[in-house]
Protein backbone atom coordinates (compact mmCIF):
# COMPACT_ATOMS: atom_id res chain seq x y z
CA UNK A 1 0.00 0.00 0.00
CA UNK A 2 1.22 3.50 -0.81
CA UNK A 3 1.63 5.90 2.07
CA UNK A 4 -0.56 9.00 2.26
CA UNK A 5 -0.20 11.96 4.58
CA UNK A 6 -1.95 15.27 5.07
CA UNK A 7 -2.42 17.90 7.75
CA UNK A 8 -4.72 20.72 8.80
CA UNK A 9 -3.79 23.74 10.92
CA UNK A 10 -6.05 24.26 13.96
CA UNK A 11 -6.32 28.01 13.42
CA UNK A 12 -10.10 28.25 13.28
CA UNK A 13 -13.29 26.54 12.20
CA UNK A 14 -12.98 24.16 9.25
CA UNK A 15 -14.83 25.18 6.09
CA UNK A 16 -15.93 23.78 2.77
CA UNK A 17 -12.57 24.64 1.19
CA UNK A 18 -10.89 22.32 3.69
CA UNK A 19 -13.56 19.73 3.12
CA UNK A 20 -13.60 19.79 -0.66
CA UNK A 21 -9.88 20.38 -1.17
CA UNK A 22 -8.66 17.88 1.38
CA UNK A 23 -10.86 16.06 3.94
CA UNK A 24 -13.15 14.47 1.38
CA UNK A 25 -10.12 12.81 -0.17
CA UNK A 26 -8.85 11.61 3.19
CA UNK A 27 -12.07 9.68 3.60
CA UNK A 28 -11.89 8.28 0.08
CA UNK A 29 -8.27 7.19 0.52
CA UNK A 30 -8.53 5.49 3.90
CA UNK A 31 -9.52 2.10 2.48
CA UNK A 32 -6.77 1.69 -0.09
CA UNK A 33 -3.77 3.48 1.37
CA UNK A 34 -1.60 3.51 4.44
CA UNK A 35 -2.89 6.82 5.80
CA UNK A 36 -1.52 9.44 8.21
CA UNK A 37 -3.64 12.51 8.94
CA UNK A 38 -2.75 15.03 11.59
CA UNK A 39 -3.48 18.36 13.22
CA UNK A 40 -0.63 20.79 12.54
CA UNK A 41 -0.57 22.56 15.91
CA UNK A 42 3.13 23.50 15.64
CA UNK A 43 2.43 25.19 12.32
CA UNK A 44 -0.35 27.23 13.88
CA UNK A 45 2.17 28.90 16.22
CA UNK A 46 3.77 30.65 13.22
CA UNK A 47 0.68 32.85 12.86
CA UNK A 48 -1.28 32.34 16.09
CA UNK A 49 1.09 32.74 19.05
CA UNK A 50 -1.85 33.15 21.44
CA UNK A 51 -2.72 29.56 22.39
CA UNK A 52 -5.77 30.10 24.58
CA UNK A 53 -8.13 28.60 22.00
CA UNK A 54 -5.64 26.12 20.58
CA UNK A 55 -6.53 23.02 22.54
CA UNK A 56 -10.23 23.24 21.77
CA UNK A 57 -9.39 23.92 18.09
CA UNK A 58 -7.24 20.80 17.93
CA UNK A 59 -10.10 18.75 19.38
CA UNK A 60 -12.50 20.29 16.88
CA UNK A 61 -10.31 19.41 13.89
CA UNK A 62 -10.17 15.81 15.14
CA UNK A 63 -13.94 15.74 15.76
CA UNK A 64 -14.81 17.26 12.39
CA UNK A 65 -12.61 14.81 10.52
CA UNK A 66 -14.15 11.83 12.29
CA UNK A 67 -17.62 13.29 11.72
CA UNK A 68 -16.78 13.63 8.00
CA UNK A 69 -16.16 9.90 7.81
CA UNK A 70 -12.54 9.35 8.80
CA UNK A 71 -12.14 6.11 10.74
CA UNK A 72 -9.43 6.34 13.44
CA UNK A 73 -9.15 2.54 13.34
CA UNK A 74 -8.18 2.59 9.67
CA UNK A 75 -5.90 5.62 9.64
CA UNK A 76 -3.44 7.23 12.03
CA UNK A 77 -5.19 10.40 13.18
CA UNK A 78 -2.84 12.32 15.44
CA UNK A 79 -1.62 15.65 16.73
CA UNK A 80 1.71 16.90 15.35
CA UNK A 81 3.19 17.80 18.74
CA UNK A 82 2.64 14.23 19.97
CA UNK A 83 5.30 13.08 17.49
CA UNK A 84 8.61 14.67 18.52
CA UNK A 85 10.45 12.74 15.77
CA UNK A 86 9.06 15.31 13.32
CA UNK A 87 10.93 18.08 15.12
CA UNK A 88 14.24 16.29 14.82
CA UNK A 89 13.78 15.67 11.10
CA UNK A 90 12.81 19.35 10.74
CA UNK A 91 16.13 20.27 12.31
CA UNK A 92 18.12 18.19 9.81
CA UNK A 93 16.10 19.47 6.86
CA UNK A 94 16.63 23.05 8.00
CA UNK A 95 20.33 22.62 7.25
CA UNK A 96 19.41 21.78 3.65
CA UNK A 97 16.96 24.65 3.14
CA UNK A 98 18.27 27.97 1.86
CA UNK A 99 17.18 31.38 3.07
CA UNK A 100 16.72 32.60 -0.50
CA UNK A 101 14.26 29.90 -1.53
CA UNK A 102 12.35 30.19 1.75
CA UNK A 103 11.99 33.94 1.34
CA UNK A 104 10.59 33.44 -2.15
CA UNK A 105 7.75 31.18 -0.95
CA UNK A 106 4.37 32.73 -1.81
CA UNK A 107 2.80 31.98 1.58
CA UNK A 108 5.79 33.49 3.38
CA UNK A 109 5.58 36.69 1.35
CA UNK A 110 1.83 36.93 2.04
CA UNK A 111 2.20 36.35 5.77
CA UNK A 112 5.09 38.78 5.98
CA UNK A 113 2.66 41.39 4.68
CA UNK A 114 -0.22 40.51 7.01
CA UNK A 115 1.95 40.22 10.15
CA UNK A 116 4.89 42.59 9.57
CA UNK A 117 5.65 42.73 13.30
CA UNK A 118 5.98 38.99 13.64
CA UNK A 119 8.04 37.66 10.74
CA UNK A 120 9.43 34.85 12.86
CA UNK A 121 11.85 32.09 11.87
CA UNK A 122 9.07 29.51 12.14
CA UNK A 123 7.16 31.35 9.46
CA UNK A 124 10.21 31.37 7.19
CA UNK A 125 10.84 27.65 7.70
CA UNK A 126 7.16 26.67 7.55
CA UNK A 127 7.74 24.64 4.34
CA UNK A 128 10.62 22.78 6.01
CA UNK A 129 8.42 21.66 8.91
CA UNK A 130 5.80 20.63 6.37
CA UNK A 131 8.39 18.60 4.48
CA UNK A 132 9.35 16.91 7.76
CA UNK A 133 5.66 16.03 8.37
CA UNK A 134 5.52 14.30 5.01
CA UNK A 135 8.96 12.70 4.86
CA UNK A 136 8.87 11.30 8.39
CA UNK A 137 6.39 8.68 7.08
CA UNK A 138 7.96 8.56 3.62
CA UNK A 139 4.59 9.49 2.16
CA UNK A 140 4.19 9.67 -1.61
CA UNK A 141 0.67 11.05 -1.96
CA UNK A 142 -0.40 14.22 -0.18
CA UNK A 143 -4.09 15.13 -0.60
CA UNK A 144 -4.21 18.94 -0.42
CA UNK A 145 -5.84 21.93 -2.06
CA UNK A 146 -4.20 24.05 -4.71
CA UNK A 147 -2.77 26.50 -2.16
CA UNK A 148 -0.31 23.84 -0.93
CA UNK A 149 1.19 23.04 -4.33
CA UNK A 150 4.32 25.14 -3.89
CA UNK A 151 4.97 23.64 -0.45
CA UNK A 152 4.92 20.18 -2.00
CA UNK A 153 7.40 21.24 -4.63
CA UNK A 154 9.70 22.44 -1.86
CA UNK A 155 9.27 19.18 0.05
CA UNK A 156 10.42 17.33 -3.06
CA UNK A 157 13.47 19.57 -3.30
CA UNK A 158 14.43 19.02 0.34
CA UNK A 159 13.96 15.26 -0.03
CA UNK A 160 16.06 15.17 -3.15
CA UNK A 161 18.82 17.22 -1.53
CA UNK A 162 18.84 14.92 1.47
CA UNK A 163 18.95 11.81 -0.72
CA UNK A 164 21.75 13.23 -2.83
CA UNK A 165 23.91 14.14 0.13
CA UNK A 166 23.25 11.31 2.58
CA UNK A 167 21.82 8.41 0.59
CA UNK A 168 18.40 7.56 -0.76
CA UNK A 169 15.89 7.45 2.07
CA UNK A 170 12.92 9.49 0.89
CA UNK A 171 10.54 8.87 -2.01
CA UNK A 172 9.17 11.90 -3.90
CA UNK A 173 5.93 13.22 -2.39
CA UNK A 174 3.27 14.65 -4.68
CA UNK A 175 0.15 16.73 -4.10
CA UNK A 176 -2.89 14.59 -4.82
CA UNK A 177 -6.47 14.91 -5.95
CA UNK A 178 -8.51 12.15 -7.57
CA UNK A 179 -8.01 12.43 -11.32
CA UNK A 180 -8.50 16.17 -11.36
CA UNK A 181 -6.48 19.30 -10.86
CA UNK A 182 -5.94 20.43 -7.30
CA UNK A 183 -8.93 22.28 -5.93
CA UNK A 184 -9.40 25.88 -4.91
CA UNK A 185 -12.77 26.77 -3.42
CA UNK A 186 -13.42 30.49 -3.61
CA UNK A 187 -14.96 32.68 -0.99
CA UNK A 188 -18.72 33.21 -1.54
CA UNK A 189 -18.12 36.92 -2.15
CA UNK A 190 -15.88 36.03 -5.09
CA UNK A 191 -12.79 37.52 -3.42
CA UNK A 192 -9.97 35.02 -3.33
CA UNK A 193 -9.99 31.58 -1.71
CA UNK A 194 -12.26 30.48 1.09
CA UNK A 195 -10.15 30.57 4.24
CA UNK A 196 -10.44 30.12 8.00
CA UNK A 197 -9.73 33.75 8.75
CA UNK A 198 -11.27 35.75 5.86
CA UNK A 199 -14.78 37.19 5.64
CA UNK A 200 -16.92 34.89 7.81
CA UNK A 201 -20.14 35.75 5.96
CA UNK A 202 -18.53 34.44 2.78
CA UNK A 203 -17.18 31.24 4.34
CA UNK A 204 -19.26 28.11 4.88
CA UNK A 205 -18.09 26.35 8.03
CA UNK A 206 -18.80 22.73 8.90
CA UNK A 207 -20.05 24.11 12.23
CA UNK A 208 -22.53 26.60 10.71
CA UNK A 209 -26.16 26.23 11.75
CA UNK A 210 -28.92 25.82 9.16
CA UNK A 211 -29.90 29.47 9.07
CA UNK A 212 -26.33 30.67 8.70
CA UNK A 213 -25.84 28.31 5.77
CA UNK A 214 -29.01 29.56 4.06
CA UNK A 215 -28.17 33.20 4.68
CA UNK A 216 -24.63 32.90 3.38
CA UNK A 217 -25.59 31.05 0.22
CA UNK A 218 -28.44 33.43 -0.59
CA UNK A 219 -25.96 36.32 -0.26
CA UNK A 220 -23.32 34.66 -2.45
CA UNK A 221 -22.10 36.75 -5.35
CA UNK A 222 -23.92 36.24 -8.65
CA UNK A 223 -24.71 38.51 -11.59
CA UNK A 224 -27.57 39.10 -14.01
CA UNK A 225 -27.02 35.70 -15.63
CA UNK A 226 -25.65 34.38 -18.92
CA UNK A 227 -26.78 36.02 -22.15
CA UNK A 228 -25.19 33.75 -24.73
CA UNK A 229 -25.80 29.98 -24.71
CA UNK A 230 -23.01 27.69 -23.51
CA UNK A 231 -20.87 30.55 -22.27
CA UNK A 232 -18.04 29.99 -19.83
CA UNK A 233 -19.10 30.52 -16.23
CA UNK A 234 -17.45 33.36 -14.31
CA UNK A 235 -15.36 31.91 -11.49
CA UNK A 236 -17.78 32.87 -8.67
CA UNK A 237 -20.62 31.04 -10.49
CA UNK A 238 -18.40 28.05 -11.27
CA UNK A 239 -17.59 27.97 -7.56
CA UNK A 240 -21.28 27.65 -6.61
CA UNK A 241 -21.63 24.83 -9.12
CA UNK A 242 -18.61 23.14 -7.54
CA UNK A 243 -20.30 23.38 -4.15
CA UNK A 244 -23.44 21.94 -5.71
CA UNK A 245 -21.36 18.94 -6.76
CA UNK A 246 -20.68 18.03 -3.13
CA UNK A 247 -24.08 18.79 -1.71
CA UNK A 248 -26.64 18.01 -4.41
CA UNK A 249 -27.48 14.99 -6.54
CA UNK A 250 -26.07 14.68 -10.06
CA UNK A 251 -29.56 15.10 -11.43
CA UNK A 252 -29.94 18.48 -9.71
CA UNK A 253 -26.47 19.58 -10.75
CA UNK A 254 -27.05 18.77 -14.42
CA UNK A 255 -30.49 20.36 -14.42
CA UNK A 256 -29.05 23.73 -13.35
CA UNK A 257 -26.01 23.32 -15.56
CA UNK A 258 -28.34 22.78 -18.52
CA UNK A 259 -30.37 25.85 -17.52
CA UNK A 260 -27.16 27.84 -17.36
CA UNK A 261 -26.18 26.71 -20.83
CA UNK A 262 -29.60 27.65 -22.18
CA UNK A 263 -29.59 31.00 -20.36
CA UNK A 264 -32.79 30.12 -18.50
CA UNK A 265 -31.21 29.76 -15.07
CA UNK A 266 -32.68 31.82 -12.21
CA UNK A 267 -30.02 32.35 -9.61
CA UNK A 268 -32.62 32.76 -6.85
CA UNK A 269 -33.91 29.22 -7.45
CA UNK A 270 -30.41 27.88 -7.97
CA UNK A 271 -29.23 29.28 -4.65
CA UNK A 272 -32.35 28.10 -2.80
CA UNK A 273 -31.74 24.57 -4.02
CA UNK A 274 -28.04 24.76 -3.17
CA UNK A 275 -28.84 26.16 0.29
CA UNK A 276 -31.28 23.36 1.15
CA UNK A 277 -28.95 20.66 -0.13
CA UNK A 278 -26.03 22.23 1.75
CA UNK A 279 -28.06 22.32 4.97
CA UNK A 280 -28.80 18.60 4.52
CA UNK A 281 -25.12 17.95 3.82
CA UNK A 282 -23.59 19.92 6.69
CA UNK A 283 -26.14 19.21 9.44
CA UNK A 284 -25.18 15.58 10.17
CA UNK A 285 -21.46 16.45 10.14
CA UNK A 286 -22.03 19.39 12.50
CA UNK A 287 -24.14 17.34 14.91
CA UNK A 288 -21.80 14.37 14.93
CA UNK A 289 -18.76 16.61 15.36
CA UNK A 290 -20.38 18.36 18.33
CA UNK A 291 -21.09 15.00 19.99
CA UNK A 292 -17.52 13.84 19.48
CA UNK A 293 -16.08 17.11 20.66
CA UNK A 294 -18.07 16.86 23.88
CA UNK A 295 -16.75 13.37 24.45
CA UNK A 296 -13.22 14.15 25.60
CA UNK A 297 -12.61 10.57 26.63
CA UNK A 298 -13.21 9.43 23.05
CA UNK A 299 -11.05 12.22 21.61
CA UNK A 300 -8.19 11.34 23.91
CA UNK A 301 -8.47 7.70 22.95
CA UNK A 302 -8.37 8.63 19.25
CA UNK A 303 -5.33 10.87 19.48
CA UNK A 304 -3.44 8.47 21.73
CA UNK A 305 -4.03 5.65 19.29
CA UNK A 306 -3.03 7.95 16.41
CA UNK A 307 0.16 9.08 18.15
CA UNK A 308 1.20 5.48 18.79
CA UNK A 309 0.80 4.56 15.12
CA UNK A 310 2.50 7.73 13.91
CA UNK A 311 5.44 7.39 16.29
CA UNK A 312 6.08 3.80 15.28
CA UNK A 313 6.41 4.87 11.66
CA UNK A 314 8.26 8.10 12.47
CA UNK A 315 10.88 6.53 14.69
CA UNK A 316 11.65 3.90 12.06
CA UNK A 317 12.35 6.62 9.50
CA UNK A 318 14.30 8.74 11.94
CA UNK A 319 16.51 5.79 12.80
CA UNK A 320 17.51 5.50 9.14
CA UNK A 321 17.97 9.22 8.85
CA UNK A 322 20.32 9.27 11.83
CA UNK A 323 22.29 6.39 10.39
CA UNK A 324 22.56 8.14 7.04
CA UNK A 325 23.80 11.38 8.64
CA UNK A 326 26.05 9.45 11.00
CA UNK A 327 24.30 10.80 14.06
CA UNK A 328 24.59 7.53 15.93
CA UNK A 329 27.27 7.20 18.58
Q: What is the largest CA-CA distance in the chain?
A: 74
Judged by CB, which is closer to ligand TYM: 101, or 269? 101
- Say which of 111, 216, 271, 309 is annotated catalytic: 111
Could you tell me which of 133, 21, 2 has the C-alpha nearest to residue 78? 133
Give the whole-angstrom CA distance, residue 257 versus residue 276.
18
Give the whole-angstrom CA distance, residue 26 versus residue 215.
29
Interface region with ligand TYM, contact rule CB under 6 A, candidates 81-89, 97-105, 180-188, 226-234: 180-188
Interface region with ligand TYM, contact rule CB under 6 A, candidates 14-22, 210-218, 224-232, 249-257: 14-22
Q: Tell the smallest beta-carbon distance from residue 149 to ligand TYM (Å).
A: 9
Residue 120 CB burial class (10 angstroms; 0-12, 13-18, ≥19):
middle
Judged by CB, which is closer to ligand TYM: 22, or 66? 22
- Say which of 1, 99, 104, 196 is annotated catalytic: 196
Is 304 designated active site?
no
- What phi and psi values does residue 212 have, to the nearest 5 degrees? -60, -40
Judged by CB, which is closer to ligand TYM: 72, or 143? 143
Interaction of residue 17 with ligand TYM, rule CB under 6 A = yes
Is 196 designated active site?
yes
Q: Which of 82, 147, 189, 257 touches ligand TYM (CB under 6 A)?
A: 147
Give the whole-angstrom CA distance, residue 195 versus residue 135.
26
Residues of span 18-37 touching ligand TYM by CB under 6 A: 18, 20-22
CB 152 within 8 A of CB 141: no
Interaction of residue 8 with ligand TYM, rule CB under 6 A = yes
Task: Tell me the C-alpha to C-alpha distance, in Å, between residue 155 and each of 183, 190, 193, 257, 280.
Answer: 19, 31, 23, 39, 38
Judged by CB, which is closer to ligand TYM: 8, or 314? 8
Q: Which residues are annotated as a binding site for ATP?
A: 9-11, 17-18, 145-147, 185, 193-197
Amino acid sequence: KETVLSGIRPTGYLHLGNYFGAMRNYVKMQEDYNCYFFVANWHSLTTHPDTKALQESVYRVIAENVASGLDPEKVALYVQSDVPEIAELYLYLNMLAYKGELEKTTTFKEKAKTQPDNINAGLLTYPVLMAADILIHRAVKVPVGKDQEQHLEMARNFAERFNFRYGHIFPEPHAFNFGENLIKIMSLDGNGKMSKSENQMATLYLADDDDAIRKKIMKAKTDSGPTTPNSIKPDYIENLFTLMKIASTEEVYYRFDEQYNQCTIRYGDFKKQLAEDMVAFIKPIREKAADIQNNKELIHKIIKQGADKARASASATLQEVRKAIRMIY
